[in-house]
Structure 1
Amino acid sequence: MTEKNHQHEEEGGTATITKKKVQLPKKYKVLLHNDDYTTMEFVIYVLQAVFHKPLNEAERIMIDVHRNGIGVCGVYTHEIAESKAKKVEHMARENSHPLLCTYEPE
């Protein structure tokens, strides 16, 4: 015990333990945007290949994109969201699709 702590205990005080709060990284939604050219099949393929979605979930997200103009593919840390969005756009360009994939804070 240090002398300072020893004095504190003799005076009947209580010790305060300060815990550092761990801040979780900010999360980002990855979004697919509807267009008039990208096929529904390609959107499903991307959702399975990049986001590892099972077929039924990929179809549901594709329908959201088609009906609502936008669909959420997943929620990730900034680096992963950015990487997935770039991968989708790269795959789309390689296959001559104008599919837009963006990410935004959750």
Structure 2
Amino acid sequence: RLRHSGGDWDGGRGNCDAGLKALSVDSGLPKVFGRDDLKYINCSDEHGVITDPDGALRLNDKLKLIPGHCDPTCNLFDWYVGVRNGRVESLWPVTARGMCL
């Protein structure tokens, strides 16, 4: 979810609630799904920075991010929510979360 969109601060950037605790970036930064005009450019532990050159984003807009590396991203969560046609269809536990060899 977008926390702050461009316009009144640093023109053309927004913060989102998806940083290192939500996405693995060891193989590259995430992509914004379906939005070639937006680019995820930086992150902290809890937030990401997205460029918005056209100023299209608004506070509380929801974006889908495609992780740069899916395997370690999966390990960051206890379960995944399976959604089909806008409805929750299943919950998938990540049973190996946090396991070490």
Q: TM-score, normalised by structure 1?
A: 0.30
Q: TM-score, normalised by structure 2?
A: 0.31
Higher relative contact order (CA 8 A, sep 6+): 1
More strand by share: 2
